[in-house]
Amino acid sequence: MCNATQNIIYPREATIFASICAILFCIVGVVGNFVTVLALIRCPKLRTHATTAFVLSLCLSDLLFCSVNLPLTASRYIHEAWTLGDALCVLFPVLFYGNVAVSLLNMVAITLNRYVLISYHQYYNQLYSKTSIWLQLLCTWGFAFLIMLPSLLGVWGQLGLNPSTFSCTILEKDGKSPKKILFLIAFVLPCVVIITSYSCIFWRVQRSRNKLKAHQLATKKEKRSSRRERDDSRLTKLMLIIFICFVLCFLPLMLVNVFDDEVEYPVLHVLASILAWASSVINPFIYAASNRQYRSAYSKLFRIVRSSVVFSESKQLSNNSLKSRDRNGQSVNFKPNAGSS
C-alpha cells in the first residue's frame, strides 16, 4: 500500500517546489516557534497574562506541525510516494487535521479571552484562574484530536493512502466520508465564533472611545485605565491579525479538499498545501512586527543568549591564558642554568 505510485497526477515541478518549501518551512518554523516559546516563558510581564497561555499553546501546536508533519511531507513530495510505513500513514492525518483544529480552537479561546477582558472585566479574574486556563487548554487539545477518532477507528471514513496523490488522508469508507462535517465543525463554526466575538469587541471599543471623547477632563485614574485599554486593544489587534492570516492560509486548502476531492486541479492542491504550511511559520514574525511587548520579550531573550555567549568565550579565553602561563612557567623552571656546565 505505502509504495503505490501509480496514477501520479502532480507535475514534477510542483512536487520539487513543494518539497523545497516544506524543508525551508520546517527549519524556519521550528526555530521561530521554539524561540517564541522561550521568549514568552522568560518574560515575567507576559507570563502573567492569561492570553499568553493560549499563545504558547498555539506555538506548541505549530512547533509540533513543523517538527513532525513537515519532514514527513517533504519526504512524500521528494519520493512522489509514501515510503514511511502504514503506521505513520495513519498517524499523519491525525496530526495534520488535529493540529489545524488545535490552532483554530486556541484562537477561539484567545478571542473569548479578549472579549471577556474588554466587555466583562469584572468577571475576568474569576473566569481565568490558573485552574480554568489549564482546563480550557486540556479541552482544546482533547476535542481537537477526539474528532479524528471515528476515522481512526474506521467507524466513519478511514485513514490511509490515496495512491494518486501519494497523500495519507481521510478516505471514504462504504461511500461515506466525514470531511465535509469536519470542515463545518472544526473550521467554519470556530471562524464564525471568532468573527462574531471580534465584531462585538470592535463595537465595545468604539463605544468606549466615544465616551472618552465626551469627557475632555480626565482624572489620573481614567488616564491609567485608558493606557490599559490601549495595551489591551493592541494585543487584541495582534490576535485578530493572527486569525486573519490563519484563515487566508488554510481556507484555500480546506476548500479544495472539500470541493475538489477528485483532484481535478492538482497544481491548486499543491499551492493550497504550501500556503497552509506557511501558517505555522509566520506567527513569530507577526508577533515581532506588530506588538511592542512581544518585541521586548524577543530582545530580552537575545540579550541573555548574547551575554551567555560572550561570557562563555571570555571564560574560554581566560582558561587558555592560564594554561599558556602554566606551560611557560614549566619551561622556565626546567631550563638549565648557564653556569652549571
pLDDT (tens digit per residue) in 61-116:
999 999 999 999 999 999 999 999 999 999 999 999 899 899 889 999 999 998 89
Backbone angles phi and psi of 174, in degrees to 5: 55, 35
pLDDT category at 274 given cuts 50, 70, 90 is very high
pLDDT of 266: 86
In angstroms, the Cα distances linking 59 to 30, 40, 107 are 10, 10, 11
Tell me how far apart the alpha carbons of residues 267 and 18 are, in angstroms, rounded to a whole number. Answer: 10
Residue 331 has pLDDT above 70, yes or no: no
Residue 31 has pLDDT above 60, yes or no: yes
CB proximity list for 107: less than 8 A, separation 6 or greater: 58, 190, 194, 239, 242, 243, 246
pLDDT of 322: 63
Average pLDDT score, the chain = 83
Helix axes 292-333, 220-259, angle to 10 degrees: 90
pLDDT (tens digit per residue) in 197-240:
888 888 887 777 666 666 654 555 555 555 666 667 777 888 88
pLDDT of 215: 61
What is the pLDDT averaged over residues 24-44?
93
CB proximity list for 108: less than 8 A, separation 6 or greater: 190, 193, 194
Tell me how far apart the alpha carbons of residues 192 and 93 are, in angstroms, rounded to a whole number. Answer: 24
CB atoms within 10 A of CB 290: 17
pLDDT category at 320 given cuts 50, 70, 90 is low
Our measurement of the distance from residue 154's CA atom to the centroid of its chain's CA atoms, rounded to an integer in Å, reads 29
In angstroms, the Cα distances linking 83 to 26, 27, 112, 160 are 19, 22, 42, 13
- Give the residues across from 159 on adjacent strands: 170
What residue has cell string 496530526? Answer: 95
pLDDT category at 5 given cuts 50, 70, 90 is very low
pLDDT category at 34 given cuts 50, 70, 90 is very high
pLDDT (tens digit per residue) in 109-143:
999 998 898 888 888 988 999 999 999 999 999 99
CB atoms within 10 A of CB 69: 20
pLDDT of 8: 61
Closest CA to 293 of 19, 18, 40: 40
As given in the structure block, the three cell numbers for residue 332 are 622556565
Checking 90-93 for CB contacts under 8 A at 24+ apart, the result is 90/152, 90/159, 90/160, 90/168, 92/168, 93/148, 93/151, 93/159, 93/168, 93/169, 93/170
Give 309 or 117, the one with higher predicted confidence.
117
What is the pLDDT averaged over residues 240-269?
85
Tell me how far apart the alpha carbons of residues 175 and 149 are, in angstroms, rounded to a whole number. Answer: 18
* Strand 167-171 relative to strand 158-162, pairing: antiparallel
pLDDT of 319: 66
Answer yes or no: are the C-beta atoms of 70 and 29 closer than 8 Å: yes
As given in the structure block, the three cell numbers for residue 4 are 503505490
pLDDT category at 164 given cuts 50, 70, 90 is confident
Tell me how far apart the alpha carbons of residues 111 and 118 are, in angstroms, rounded to a whole number. Answer: 11
Tell me how far apart the alpha carbons of residues 118 and 197 are, in angstroms, rounded to a whole number. Answer: 11
Please return the burial class of 214, using the count of CB atoms within 10 Å of its CB with bins 0-12, 13-18 and 19+: exposed
pTM: 0.81
pLDDT of 299: 87
pLDDT of 204: 81
Domains of the chain and CATH, by start: 12-311 (1.20.1070.10)
Answer yes or no: are the C-beta atoms of 32 and 287 closer than 8 Å: no
What is the pLDDT averaged over residues 249-255?
86
Tell me how far apart the alpha carbons of residues 178 and 183 are, in angstroms, rounded to a whole number. Answer: 8
